[in-house]
Structure 1
């Protein structure tokens, strides 16, 4: 009952997505099962203490969970027990003294400007009348040109696009909306796609659709992007989020201010956006290593 109340709180008061709520539910259920295994006398969640949580962490690590996965699960528990404190179900928060395993945050994967330009040039549809080819090309182009999330692209409606003001209204996490400008090149692709879509699949509410006129799914978008990015053999990760990373990195490398990129990406704080400055810095280090002075012993910048 308490877990259900918490999930309803996330859904209706915090506007969390169904996917996020399901993740919280799985994490809390997994911990509850662990508590039950320890002793039938323990009353979840009232009898939970810090030692019990730490023992769970040890079990998770022993079972092969990565530090990132463990910390995500701990984040779910922290939110749950914080909610119980607010509801006065418990008087002491067992999570307050719990520290998760340390993680080394990897830098985001991204595609270099020249590789992305070559990829998009080669990806031009063979026929302007082929609905799926035109749509798939536009999906890759739009994700790279705007930096929007996959879920935001899937949720786009015709009414969200203003061709006169050259901007797209995007609904992001927790139903927050923002405006993203676009250039003439993307405008032409979007209008061409809409013409073919209306003729082949019919006009409706959703901007991106399948050939039967129904809203495109997140899985289809993922497969389209993965297939296209697979053409870059040196790229270790291939997903729609890589295009979002590529957009942000390209913007910063070409002189955009951090605050502007933050607003375009829909980040709530600069901390989330600042990771891309590290990515850009890594590129600068590589460039410096090519300098003759950097080749001398002890001359490697950053080492």
Structure 2
């Protein structure tokens, strides 16, 4: 059912992340199995069939997240099929399910600062210097994991103190870096030039063999480092992005400015951090006010 063509469309035209690509293709495959079981020709799928499919998912106790991902995947799939003149109408006229609001998980700022100091004190080779830079970059800029992996040496502008970031769907943005982070970058690049002979990789973060870093490596680095100061279950690179945004908001940064720094398409995605700050203020109030 034009799956290969759809995959290329998502990968090269829409520039979806690897995780989104895998998730969407999985949802499409499940839907095609449903059509086969229902003996329903692909070209004859209508609105009622779609409602029946999503109702079945709900009855099977699928989470709102899973159902909404399926809706999004199939809506994108049918838009692609319409564009290719394979189908006339998009049969998906279903609204996404309401999602329970989850507050972003963050690391306490004091603990994170102690961690960064500890990492600096224990830099003794290229890998420890690289790991320190990974933590500094993720916390100091709020960039996504995929964006970190795409940074090349030439993307760093030391004079204007910023990094060119390639975000979702090939959107570019400039993220400022402070003097501390510039120093970290210079120390790392010096260590990389000494440790890795004939380094031909243009990517900033590399393995000890000089190859471009990969997702699992960054996950391991962040998880290991955060384990030193936190017992919370979530210790992923995205936690540092949440911590970055919350820290800016706590210190009075404008919400629109945070939106631009994070590369969010809309303000709604950024507003979730206001809940974290509100909860933090309540906690401080309860501890400090005599009549709390």
Answer yes or no: is the 8 Å Cα contact 2:64–2:99 preserved in 1.
yes
Structure 2 equivalent of residue 79 of structure 1:
76
Moved more, 1-10 or 233-242: 1-10
**Which one has the bigger helix percentage?**
2
CA distance in 2, matches of 1:197, 1:187: 15
Structure 1 equivalent of residue 13 of structure 2:
13
CA distance in 2, matches of 1:131, 1:28: 43
1:66 matched to 2:57: no
Structure 2 equivalent of residue 124 of structure 1:
120
Structure 1 equivalent of residue 214 of structure 2:
217
Post-superposition CA distance 1:16-40 (Å, at most 9, x none) = 344433322211111111111122x
For the residue of structure 1 that corresponds to 2:164, the secondary structure is strand
CA separation of 1:126 and 1:230: change in aligned 2, threshold 3 A? closer
Post-superposition CA distance 1:60-89 (Å, at most 9, x none) = 345553221221111101122233345554
Structure 1 equivalent of residue 226 of structure 2:
229
Structure 2 equivalent of residue 38 of structure 1:
38
1:265 Cα deviation from its structure 2 partner: 0.9
For the residue of structure 2 that corresponds to 1:36, the secondary structure is helix
Structure 2 equivalent of residue 246 of structure 1:
243
Answer yes or no: is the 8 Å Cα contact 1:125–1:133 preserved in 2.
no
Structure 1 equivalent of residue 276 of structure 2:
279
For the residue of structure 1 that corresponds to 2:229, the secondary structure is coil
1:14 Cα deviation from its structure 2 partner: 2.4
1:191 Cα deviation from its structure 2 partner: 0.8
1:112 aligns with one of 108, 112, 124:
108
CA distance in 1, matches of 2:28, 2:101: 24
Q: Which runs of 5+ in 2 are unaligned?
A: none
Answer yes or no: is the 8 Å Cα contact 1:152–1:171 preserved in 2.
yes
Structure 1 equivalent of residue 25 of structure 2:
25
Moved more, 257-266 or 117-126: 117-126
Q: Which runs of 5+ in 1 are unaligned?
A: 295-303
CA distance in 2, matches of 1:156, 1:268: 20
CA distance in 2, matches of 1:171, 1:285: 37
CA separation of 1:211 and 1:8: change in aligned 2, threshold 3 A? closer
CA distance in 2, matches of 1:210, 1:232: 25
1:293 Cα deviation from its structure 2 partner: 2.8
Answer yes or no: is the 8 Å Cα contact 2:24–2:69 preserved in 1.
no
CA distance in 2, matches of 1:217, 1:278: 32
Structure 2 equivalent of residue 103 of structure 1:
99
Post-superposition CA distance 1:267-296 (Å, at most 9, x none) = 1111111111121112112223333333xx
CA distance in 2, matches of 1:177, 1:100: 29
Answer yes or no: is the 8 Å Cα contact 1:147–1:244 preserved in 2.
yes
Structure 1 equivalent of residue 166 of structure 2:
171
Answer yes or no: is the 8 Å Cα contact 2:164–2:173 preserved in 1.
yes
Structure 1 equivalent of residue 130 of structure 2:
135
1:292 matched to 2:290: yes
CA separation of 1:158 and 1:92: change in aligned 2, threshold 3 A? closer
For the residue of structure 1 that corresponds to 2:62, the secondary structure is coil
TM-score by length of 1: 0.87
TM-score by length of 2: 0.90
